Chain A
Amino acid sequence: MTSGVALDRVSVSFGDFLAVSEVSLEVGSGEFFSFLGPSGCGKTTLLRTISGFVEPTEGRVLIGGADMSGIGPDRRPTALIFQNLALFPMMTVADNIGYGLRVRGVPRKARRDTVDRLLDLIALGDQGGKRVDELSGGQKQRVAIARALAVEPKVLLLDEPLSALDLKLRQHMRNELRAIQRRVGITFIYITHDQGEALTMSDRVAVMNRGVIEQIGDGRAVYEQPRTAFVAGFVGENNALPGRVAAAAGEFATVETAIGPLRGRNVRHLMTGSDAVLFVRPESLRLDPPADAERLGVTAAGAAFEGNLTHLTFTTAAGSRLTMTVGRGGALPPGPGSAAVVGYTPDDGLVLPREGFGDA
């Protein structure tokens, strides 16, 4: 575990405000780990705590097994990529990249070699002499990464680095970042509110809400098996039907929702009478449901064509809205206003406790 990060019951509060509450987890050496959550959930605070700008009110941060208490950001084996990149405007690209080496007293020749090597890594080989304000958004990103890699950190911390970029560029950079991480092999800790980013890039994701880690797992786990209502609602699109558990038998439970009793998998073993939410993914709904499916009578409200997928919206008699996703080459969707029946197999329904519902 030479470059793993461990958080041991870390809490951070500012005055009366508790930003991070008792977080304990371990990030493996060389892993691409993301913290995913809405703004204000505490992920930025957590990142700054790992990098040393904030001392935890309780608990410890360990990097490579060593306790980092009292060690400032200038002496931790971490490097942080800031959200606005914070490149030094009065220095050239090469000087920016070499800055960390310069303050460590590395002699000029060795510095130049490392800088050249990194410029090649980020494919800006001949741009070393340019000033920062002559670069494009993507180029600045890569310079920021090279600058951080120059000091050979054990852990690279990234604070929503792609949020300011255009959509296409963002998708391109996702792949690039992943490729760089695999090539360099160090631990990346990434924070974002964009779950598409988190899922595509990471080995594992920690979903955070209001200072608390709700679930940790790889992309598949948090998407297909969310453990809390917040995770179910935040990661991907999901239809949520709140209600109360009417019956719980074995693997399944029946929830009495506004549109009637519906079944789903009772993965959290809720008891009868508890407040719950039934979740069904849009892609699990069918317009011609099979015999053993749970059925809902709905009215078609509209269809949004998005290239590969079409999103159909329905309203229920109780006023809730449901979305359903179909791929290309299906039957024509029902026109707006017409009645329809959609359904899902109980296996695709998930019953989760009501806590945290609505935060997503």
Chain B
Amino acid sequence: MTSRPFLSSRAVLKAMTGFYVLLFFAYLFGPLAVMGITAFNTPSYPQVYPFESFTLDWFVKLANDDDMVAGFRNSLWIGLLVVLVSVPVGLAGAIVMTQVHARARSFYYLIVVSPVLTPGVIIGISTVIFWRDMIGVTGTRAFYNGTFLTVVGQSSYIAAYTMLIFLARLQRFDRAQDEAAQDLGASQTQVFFHVLLPYLRPAVFSAAVLAFLSSFENYNTTTFSILADKTLTTVLAGRVRQGTDPSLSALAVAIIAVTVAGAVLYEVLRRREDRRARQRERAAGAAEAREMAGMTG
């Protein structure tokens, strides 16, 4: 009964939605596009127009910037260490979560999720304060070191991220496989390595990627915990405060290029895996059909 005017209001809604989506993505990409253009423009202050002339000089300058390069290497190294710490810790956290008794579970959850909800600066500050005091307790300065502190500080919340990924995957684990392996004679350790870990492999991969990227781009925590060292983000912050030249824009373009390459690679691998899964499904279907045909004989 209200269909006719209703339909046209729907059409208007659709047009508005489309327009809004466009506007939204313009807003999202706009600043980055602007910055990207300045990377190729000659003036030493980032500007989009007038577009004086095309140049790749800023990229060269970026590559020769020693501080940046050192920071980049440090970020890679710390990222790797964070992966090596937070993936096993997150896995342990997830397994313990499934085994801890009900009364302790909410409390345990609160504790391990709290770093995610804590502002990064506070994690950085508390990490530095604690380990500085530990110099007195342990009698050694070995722990009061930028890399160590940053890895510990970042891992405190990144391990929570990986834990959540593992938890999601663990929820759907078929317990019968654990029991089947035991029934066939496997010890608990063997069940863990032969059955559980292979099942978790996709989760390990996505957890590792997430951990690395979260670590690489972190600033709030790192700026406190890195002490006298530097990472890419702290160098960047310092650079942006002091002078602004388009080599920073060049960095942004480089990052975008790597991201796009990564996304394309991911999509290619994903399609290949999908195709293989479909092939296996078809094989199973054919086997079923043959079996049915054999029955009626």
Contact = CB atoms under 8 A, between A and B. Distances in A.
A52 B180 CA distance: 12
A86 B292 contact: no
B274 to A, nearest CB: 14
Contacts of B183: 51-52, 73-74, 78-80
A135 B288 CA distance: 8
B283 A134 contact: yes
A104 B179 CA distance: 16
B291 A136 contact: yes
A172 B296 CA distance: 10
Interface string B169-205: 0000010110111111111001000110011010000
A135 B284 contact: yes
B290 interface: yes
B239 interface: no
B184 to A, nearest CB: 4
B179 A53 contact: yes
Contacts of B290: 136
A331 interface: no
Contact of A136 (B174, B177, B179, B288): B288
A6 B287 CA distance: 41
Nearest to B175: A86
Contact of B187 (A86, A103, A168): A103
Given A80-B183, A151-B184, A168-B292, A136 B280 contact: no
A100 interface: yes
A120 B181 CA distance: 23
Of the listed residues B194, B201, B284, the one surrounded by the most CB atoms of chain A closer than 10 A to its CB is B284
B180 A172 contact: no
Nearest to A166: B292
Contacts of A200: none
A86 B179 contact: yes
Contacts of A134: 280, 283-284, 287
Interface string A129-161: 011011111110000000110010000000000
A103 B184 contact: yes
Of the listed residues B184, B290, B292, B295, the one surrounded by the most CB atoms of chain A closer than 10 A to its CB is B184
Interface residues of A, number: 39
B176 A135 contact: no
Contact of B198 (A79, A83, A90): A90
Nearest to B180: A86
A86 B184 contact: no
B192 to A, nearest CB: 12
B296 A133 contact: no
B179 A82 contact: yes
Nearest to B198: A90
B175 to A, nearest CB: 9
B200 to A, nearest CB: 11
Contacts of B229: none
A193 B240 CA distance: 74
A168 B295 contact: yes
Contacts of A51: 183
A86 B194 contact: no
A88 B201 CA distance: 14
Given A73-B179, A131-B280, A172-B295, A136 B184 contact: no
A168 B185 contact: no
A84 B288 CA distance: 17
Interface in A38-75: 51-53, 72-75
A103 B186 contact: yes
A137 B184 CA distance: 22
A74 B186 contact: yes
A139 B291 contact: yes
30 contacts: A51-B183, A52-B183, A73-B182, A79-B183, A80-B179, A80-B183, A82-B176, A82-B180, A86-B176, A86-B177, A88-B177, A88-B195, A99-B194, A103-B181, A103-B186, A103-B190, A103-B194, A130-B283, A134-B280, A134-B283, A134-B287, A135-B287, A136-B288, A136-B290, A137-B288, A137-B291, A139-B291, A168-B292, A169-B291, A169-B292
Given A74-B184, A82-B176, 4 more contacts: A53-B179, A75-B185, A131-B280, A139-B291
